[in-house]
Amino acid sequence: MAFRGKAGYMKTQVRYGACQRGGIMPDPKPKIGIALGSGGARGWIHVGVLQALKDEGFEPDIVAGCSMGALVGAAFAAGWLDELEEWAVSITRRDIVRLLDINLLNGGLIDGSRVIDVLRGFKGDALIQELEKPYMAIASNLTTGREVWLRDGSVFDAVRASVSIPGFLRPYNLNGQWLVDGGLTNPVPVSACRALGADFIIAVNPDANILKYIHEGNNKKTKPDHPDGSYSALMDRMLETVPPAVKERIRAMTPGFLNADAKPLSYMAVLSSSIDIMTGQIMRSRLAGEPPHIILDPQLGPFGTIEFNRAAEAIAEGRRIVQEALPFLHRQLG
C-alpha cells in the first residue's frame, strides 16, 4: 500500500493498492488497457512507458489517450512508435519555433497544421477502426462542454482535436463540432479504456507534481536562453506579416511557454499553470469514480508545456517508472 502524506497525496511515483479492483487478475490472461494522460511536452514519457511495457512482456492491448497521450497512443496503436521517437529526440528549439504557425484569427495562438503535416509524413493518415489495436482519443465539445470519444474516422483528425489546448491551439471543427483538448473533461481516460474492454488498466499521468515545479522555476534566476539571438531571428521571420504592435505582444507571450524557468510570469506561463490546475482537479475527480489498477507518476521536474526538444529525458523517465512498477505488474499479471 502506498504511503500517503499529510495532505493525502501519494508520496511514491507508482501508485497502486487503493486503485486496485478485485485483487489478482484471474485467468485467462486479461486484456491490458493503458490510459495516456494530457501534459503537453511532458507527454513524451508515454513513449518510454509503452516501449518499456512491451519489452517487459506487458504490452497494452487497448489504448485510450488524451491530448499528447492521444498522439503517442495513436502512434503505438498504428505501429509507428519507433518513428515518432526518432523524430521526437531530434527536435531542437529552432524546430519548435518553425512549427509554431501563429494565427490570431482562428480562436488560438497557433494553427497547428504544420505539426500534423509532419506527423502525416511518417505513415500517412489511417482510420482508427483499421489500427492494429483498439484506440480512442478524447476531446471536449466547446459548445456543450461534454466529453467526446473519438473511436472511428481519421486518426489525425482525432489527434488534432484532442490536442487543441484552449488559448494556444485553435479549436478543431470535426463533423460540425468545435472540439478542444480532452484534458478539460477527462485528462487520464481510464473510463475510455474500460469501455473498450480492458480488464487491467495502467494509467499514466504526465502532470504529476508539475505545479510545484512551475512555481519553483519562476522563483529562480533565469539565464539567457538564446545568447546567439537565434530565437529572436526565427520569431521575426515567422511574424513578418504581423503589425509591429501585435508582434511585440506575441514575442512577450511565447518565451515563457518555451522555457519552464521564465520570469516574470508571461501570458503562456499563466495559461499553462491555469490549465494544469484545472485538469489536475478534474483528473482527481474522475479517477476517484473510475480508478485504474495502477497509476504511473513521473518526476520530471521543471518542464515547459512545449519544451518538445526535451523528449529524450522524458522518454527515459517513462522507462524508469515502468521499471519501478514491475514487481506489482508481475504479481498482478504474472
Domain layout of the chain by residue ranges: 32-217+264-333
- Rounded alpha-carbon distances, angstroms, from residue 113 to 55, 94, 149, 211: 34, 17, 22, 29
59-63, 183-187, 266-270, 293-297: least confidently modelled range:
266-270
pLDDT for residue 274? 75
Rounded CA-CA distance 100/238 in Å is 8
At 93 the pLDDT is 85
pLDDT at residue 289 in the model: 87
Q: What is the largest CA-CA distance in the chain?
A: 66
Question: Please, how many CA atoms are within 13 Å of residue 244, restricted to the half-sphere of its CB?
Answer: 0
User: Cα(286)–Cα(173) distance, rounded to whole angstroms?
Assistant: 26
* Per-residue pLDDT, 134: 97
Query: Can you tell me which residue has the cell 477527462?
Result: 186
From CA 165, how far away is CA 103, in angstroms rounded?
A: 14
Three-state DSSP class for residue 177:
strand
pTM over 0.75: yes
Residue with cell 466547446: 142
For the residues 261-287, what does the mean pLDDT come to?
71
pLDDT at residue number 7: 31
Q: What span, in angstroms and rounded, lies between the C-alpha atoms of 288 and 181? A: 21
For the chain, what is the radius of gyration of the CA atoms? 19
CATH superfamily, with its number, for domain 32-217+264-333:
Cytosolic phospholipase A2 catalytic domain (3.40.1090.10)
User: Could you read off the pLDDT of 119-146 as tens digits, one per residue?
Assistant: 777 777 889 999 999 999 999 999 999 9
Residues designated catalytic: 67, 181
Task: Measure the CA–CA gap between 273 and 158, rounded to whole angstroms.
Answer: 25
Q: Give the residue among 148, 195, 159, 171 at the shortest CA–CA distance from 73.
A: 159
Task: Tell me the mean pLDDT in the region 196-219.
Answer: 74
3 state SS of 202: strand
The pair phi, psi for residue 106, each rounded to 5°, is: -120, 25
The pLDDT value given to residue 282? 82
The 10 Å Cβ neighbour count of residue 239 is 18
Instruction: For residue 141, give the H/E element and its range.
Output: strand 135-141
Cβ-based neighbour number of residue 86 at 10 Å: 11
Is the pLDDT score of 285 beyond 90?
no
Q: Which residues are CB-contacts of 76 (< 8 A; sequence separation ≥ 6)?
A: 46, 50, 60, 63, 133
First to last CA, the chain: 19
Residue with cell 487520464: 188
